[in-house]
Chain A
Amino acid sequence: MEFLQSIPWLIVLSSVAKTLFLIFLVVLPMVSYTVYAERRVSALIQDRLGPNRTGFPLTLLGAKKDFSPFLGGLGQPVADAVKFLLKEEFTPKHVNKFYYILAPILAMVPALTTLAVIPFGSYLFGQKMVIADVNVGILYIFAVASIGVYGIVLAGWSSNSKYPFLGSIRSSSQMISYELALGLSAVPVLMVFGKLNLSDIVSYQSHNGWLLFPLWGEGLTLQRWVLLIPIFISFVVFTISMFAETNRLPFDLPESETELVAGYHTEYAAMKFALFFLGEYAAMITGCSLIVVLFLGGWDIPFHIIPDNTPELSTGIWGIILGLVHITVFFAKVFLLLLVFIWVRWTLPRFRYDQLMKVGWLYLFEIALVNIFLTAGILAFIK
């Protein structure tokens, strides 16, 4: 009995509610519509139209007309999901079954787990809009995100086939190389904030201007403006490393279709393949969220147009609206960044493998390292 009383039920229940809301109502639909956006934007860039047919077949349910909203094709993700669910769950005979099944799970889980520390809103019903408000925020993300490489390695190894194997080897060395630059480029940011807690970082930016746009509050000091140089460098390095971490073009060597069939998921079909696919896009969303939180002010609306949201305020109607607006703003920023990811993908050709390693080890790593000293110098000498 004592044990039951010792459990903080309110925190447990609110965390479960936030998790369910974030994963099932926001991230998973966002993943599937990012896939749709990817197809649509790539088509528009290549002077095509893309999937513009699949609507919602309301006629099957007795309605007069099918519902196909403004751009058309918005039913495509739903149709894709149904297709993946209904396909035969085929497992080739030559695979190592246990790891073969484990791999897609390991690709999906870390991407969703890292979302736990992302502050996706201010306050709603007196609750902070972050699932786990821990003080090791960024470290936790780096730690969990690097597990993602296991999914790919295991997939390549257990498939018992040369192309997935090559793809997974490439992927693991690439992710390990770029994790260095990723971690080091985040250090200057942490030096400016002086803390690792992501929701604190966002509220700091809300009062003192975004890290990349210090235009209000206490962000108008000389130090913050000089700091823009190293911050911008670390923003660029961080974003580039994030491209590599999420296996996006121009760093998509692990699944380069022209050489490796489909890379590490060549032997996968149906829902197992879909898990890889979703995991990749979920990792993209997590990566974009992290960039938004660190550099672009998280859920903050610029210039303090709207007053702060507080736990006390957020139980009232005005606070609820404000909380919802903040959540919307956050995911709007994430979505814009995702569009940039897509835009870059359909612009750049793929690197050669030695070029990829060269960029990672000879340029990004050094730039990030020097950048730390630059930031430290500015923080020490310019007040």
Chain B
Amino acid sequence: MAYTVPRPKLTLSEKAYLPSIVAGLAITWKHFKNMLTGKTKVVMQYPEERWDKQMPEHYRGAPTLVKDDHDRERCVACQLCEFICPPRAIRIKPGELPAESKFAKVEKYPEEFDIDMIRCIYCGLCEEVCPEQAIFLRKDYAITGTSRKEMVHNKQKLYELGGVMHDLVHKWNPEK
């Protein structure tokens, strides 16, 4: 036994079709007008408008290296971040601080510190694991480049992005 689909009973104006068309045209006109007068909110126009101001404090952007109040690099090349990094984006070549250095008691420093931003997954484990609080995920999210080589952030670039981080750890401050 076939099932008969119940059809809705149409009123006369619905059958004539033209009134419905006019109603539809009125709806689209309303949308058109509201767009033209700027009443409708549209998506952010990205390169001109950015969402930087609305970005939360805990945002995880590009990982960077920071210096402390004495313009000393905080990193001591312990390589913990290199070991914990899940996609293995970090490469560190440790070096020894010369004896005549002001911070000679730190002993080690990174000769090279590369983060491959193609590999980086912005998980923040490097920031979490760092005992010296030297690596921080900043708010830069538009990391672009035209070649693979350009996408590898070297030490200089990382400090450029990171800048100076005040307070926090003062372990290596001789005055404290």
Contact status A47-B24, CB under 8 Å: no
Chain B min CB distance to A232 (Å)? 12
A347: contacting residue among B27, B35, B36, CB under 8 A:
B27
Contact status B21-A44, CB under 8 Å: no
Q: For A46, list chain B residues within 8 Å (CB).
A: 31
Q: Flag whether B28 is at the interface (Cβ < 8 A).
A: yes
Contact status B24-A348, CB under 8 Å: yes
* C-alpha spacing A249/B24, complex, angstroms: 14
Contact status A41-B42, CB under 8 Å: no
Q: Flag whether B59 is at the interface (Cβ < 8 A).
A: no
Chain B residues numbered 12-70 whose CB sits less than 8 Å from any CB in chain A: 21, 24-25, 27-29, 31-32, 34-36, 40, 42-43, 45
Q: For A346, list chain B residues within 8 Å (CB).
A: 28
Q: Flag whether A49 is at the interface (Cβ < 8 A).
A: yes
Contact status B40-A347, CB under 8 Å: no
Chain A min CB distance to B22 (Å)? 10
Q: For A134, list chain B residues within 8 Å (CB).
A: none
* C-alpha spacing A49/B36, complex, angstroms: 10
Chain B min CB distance to A38 (Å)? 13
Q: Flag whether A383 is at the interface (Cβ < 8 A).
A: no
Q: Flag whether A353 is at the interface (Cβ < 8 A).
A: no
- Name A's interface SS: loop
Contact status A347-B28, CB under 8 Å: yes
Contact status B35-A44, CB under 8 Å: yes
Contact status B36-A44, CB under 8 Å: yes
Known: A44-B31, A44-B35. A347 touches B24 (CB 8 A): yes
* C-alpha spacing A78/B118, complex, angstroms: 36
Q: Which residue of A lies closest to B21 (CB)?
A: A348
Contact status B25-A343, CB under 8 Å: yes
Q: Flag whether A48 is at the interface (Cβ < 8 A).
A: yes
Chain A interface bracket (under 10, 10 to 19, 20 to 34, 35 or more): 10 to 19
* C-alpha spacing A347/B30, complex, angstroms: 12
Contact status A45-B28, CB under 8 Å: yes
Chain B min CB distance to A310 (Å)? 41
Contact status A44-B32, CB under 8 Å: yes
Known: A344-B25, A347-B21. A45 touches B31 (CB 8 A): yes
* C-alpha spacing A305/B35, complex, angstroms: 35
* C-alpha spacing A346/B40, complex, angstroms: 18
Quick one: CB contact mask for B92-111 with A, threshold 8 Å, 1 for yes?
A: 00000000000000000000
* C-alpha spacing A17/B55, complex, angstroms: 61
Contact status A343-B28, CB under 8 Å: yes
A48: contacting residue among B24, B27, B34, B42, CB under 8 A:
B42
Quick one: CB contact mask for A30-67 with B, threshold 8 Å, 1 for yes?
A: 00000000000100111111000000000000000000
A343: contacting residue among B29, B34, B35, CB under 8 A:
B29
Q: For B35, list chain A residues within 8 Å (CB).
A: 44-45, 47
Contact status B25-A41, CB under 8 Å: no
Q: For B31, list chain A residues within 8 Å (CB).
A: 44-47
Q: Which residue of A lies closest to B42 (CB)?
A: A49
Q: For A48, list chain B residues within 8 Å (CB).
A: 42
Q: For A41, list chain B residues within 8 Å (CB).
A: 32
* C-alpha spacing A346/B36, complex, angstroms: 16
* C-alpha spacing A348/B25, complex, angstroms: 8
Chain B min CB distance to A218 (Å)? 32
Contact status A45-B32, CB under 8 Å: yes
Q: For B28, list chain A residues within 8 Å (CB).
A: 45, 343, 346-347
* C-alpha spacing A356/B128, complex, angstroms: 66
Contact status B21-A47, CB under 8 Å: no
Q: Which of B31, B35, B42 has the most CB of A within 10 A?
A: B35
* C-alpha spacing A276/B25, complex, angstroms: 28
Q: For A45, list chain B residues within 8 Å (CB).
A: 28, 31-32, 35
Q: For A47, list chain B residues within 8 Å (CB).
A: 31, 34-35, 40, 42
Give me the interface of A with B, judged by CB distance under 8 Å. Answer: 41, 44-49, 343-344, 346-348
Sample (23) of A-B pairs whose CB atoms are under 8 Å apart: A41-B32, A44-B31, A44-B32, A44-B35, A44-B36, A45-B28, A45-B31, A45-B32, A45-B35, A47-B31, A47-B34, A47-B40, A48-B42, A49-B42, A343-B28, A343-B29, A343-B32, A344-B21, A346-B28, A347-B21, A347-B24, A347-B27, A348-B21
3 smallest CB-CB distances across A and B, nearest first, come from: A44-B35, A347-B28, A347-B24
- A44-B35, A347-B21 given. 19 additional CB < 8 A pairs? A41-B32, A44-B31, A44-B32, A44-B36, A45-B28, A45-B31, A45-B32, A46-B31, A47-B31, A47-B35, A47-B42, A48-B42, A343-B32, A344-B21, A346-B28, A347-B25, A347-B27, A347-B28, A348-B21
